[in-house]
Amino acid sequence: MAAIASFLGRRLIKSVFILFAIVVINFMLVRAAPGDPAMVMAGEAGAADQQYVEQLREQFGLNRPIHEQLGIYLADVATGDLGYSYRQQRPVWDLIGERLPPTLVLTGFAFVLALTAGVLLGTLAAMRAGTWSDSAITVLALLSYATPIYWVGLMLILLFSVQLGWLPAFGYETVGGGYEGWDRVTDIGAHLILPVVTLGLFYMAVYARLTRASILEVRDMDFVKTARAKGLTEARIVFRHVLRNAILPVITFAGIQAGHLIGGSILIETVFAWPGIGRLAFDAVLQRDYQVLLGIFFVTSVMVIVFNIVTDLVYSLVDPRIEVA
């Protein structure tokens, strides 16, 4: 227990440094972009004069020296304030709070789907290595891995929404549908299917391949041979002994991928008009909504860090031989 506490302590301190570096690097990076939010708004207004642009700059605090702006921003972040969206005139926390849940729902389901289906398929393929079902799973995984994710999304829309009319093609829920309670859940569920499958398919492929490779490697190790010599059933061997050890690299990878899932959702959110954080980030880049973009970087980084810590803890649970360190 104490080991875990000190592990968490050390990781937290390290995380704070990483976060600090991320904020500073991103701040400088974002400011290297040509143009500023005042210019975007002037450009979109269709008419503007100098006074208009300058008013906006003053309002946004962009007329101060850049190091001063960085100082202000860092101080704000330290107190948990991510600032204000220039464009939407609202606190960044509010925006992220609104946009994060749909993304979490999407990526969460996709992650669970990818992990379960991937591990299952990978295990199946490994147990039947060399047979046609192994080949089929391997080919499926390879194909899903090699196909551009947005293209899959488009093709699924073409098939299931346009041709068959089974599932809604875009959005988070039926707007103005007035659904309550359980109806609302099923409504959101129907909207979820296509994006979740699209996003999940790619990662499922990754996990299936990893699991398969990992099992094949573990399968021939001594402790498995011992188990087999003891006359245990193959299924028992796979689940009790092999999978438990083979799952480790999968967990490691899943920990890294969790953050990337958020990035991948930019494409999915574009294709499926999903009101999530990926799209918010993309719009924020184009609109130079600095604080929103920095806020998203900050929040997603925190999530990745938390996830990595959790992964390490899970790691030690699955394999007691590994101590948290």
Partner 1 sequence: MSRDFWKAFARNRGAVVGLAILALVVLAAVFANLIYPQSPWDMAAMPFQPPLSDDALLGSDTLGRDIAAGIVHGARVSLLIGLSSTAVALLIGVTLGAIAGYHGGVVDDAIMRFTELFQTIPNFVLAVVLVAIFTPSIANITIAIAVVSWPPLARLARGEFMALRSREFVQAAITTGQGTGTIILRQILPNSLSPIIVSASLTVATAILLESSLSFLGLGDPNVMSWGYMIGAARTVIRQAWWMSFFPGIAILLTVLALNLVGEGLNDALNPKLARKGRA
Partner 2 sequence: MSNRLANLKRLATSGIVASGLLAALAGPGLAQEQVQKGGTLSVIVQPEPPILVLGLNQQGPTQTVAGKIYEGLLRYDHDLQPMPGLAESWDVSADGLSYGFKLRRNAQWHDGTPFTAKDVVFSATKFLPEVHPRARANFSHVESVEAPDDYTVVFKLKQPFPAFIKAFEVSTAPIMPAHIYEGTDYKQNPKNATPIGTGPFKFDKWVKGSNIHLVRNDKYYLEGKPYLDDIYFRVIPDAASRALALETGEVDISQYNDVEPFDVQRLKALPHLTMTTKGYEFVAPLSWIELNTREAPLNDKRFRQALMYGLDRQFIRDRIWFGLGRVATGPVNSVTPNYEADVAKYAYDPDKAKALLDEMGLKPGSGGTRAEITLTPMPYGETWARAAEYIKQSWSKIGVKVNLASTDVAGWVQKVSNWDYQATNNFVYQYGDPSLGVARTYTTENIRKGVMFSNTMGYSNPELDALFAKAAVENDPAKRAGQLGQAQKILVDDVPVIWLLEMEFPTFVNKRVHNAVTTAIGTSENFADVWVEKKK
Closest CA to 273 of 129, 167, 169: 169
Residue 108: C-alpha distances to residues 132, 199, 264, 314 (Å)? 32, 10, 13, 17
Helix, strand, coil percent values for the chain (each to nearest 5): 80, 0, 20
CA atoms within 13 A of residue 314's CA, in its CB half-sphere: 17
Q: Which residues contact 159 (CB under 8 A, 6 or more apart)?
A: none
Q: Binding segment for partner 2 among 30-38, 186-194, 303-311, 314-322 (CB under 8 A)?
A: 30-38
Residue 136 found at the interface with partner 1 (CB under 8 A): no
The least distance separating partner 1 from the CB of residue 244, rounded to whole angstroms, comes to 18
- In the DSSP assignment, the letter for residue 157 is I
Angle between helices 66-78 and 2-31 (to 10 degrees): 150
Between 247 and 292, whose beta carbon lies closer to partner 2? 292
Of 138-197, binders to partner 2 (CB under 8 A) are 154, 157, 161-162, 169-172, 174-176
Selected from 87, 191, 212, 241, the binder of partner 1 by CB under 8 A is 212
Q: Each residue of 135-160: b (16+ CB within 10 Å) or e?
A: eebbebbeebeeeebbebbeebbeeb
The least distance separating partner 1 from the CB of residue 151, rounded to whole angstroms, comes to 4
Selected from 12, 44, 159, 310, the binder of partner 2 by CB under 8 A is 44
User: Contact residues for partner 1 (CB under 8 A)?
Assistant: 14, 17-18, 21-22, 25-26, 29-30, 32-34, 142-143, 145-151, 154-155, 158, 162, 209-210, 212-214, 216-217, 249, 252-253, 256, 259-260, 262-264, 266-267, 270, 278, 281-282, 285-286, 293, 296-297, 300-301, 304-305
Task: Please give the residue ranges that form the binding site for partner 2 (CB under 8 A).
Answer: 33-37, 39-53, 55, 59, 87-90, 95, 98-99, 154, 157, 161-162, 169-172, 174-176, 270-273, 275-276, 279-280, 283, 285-288
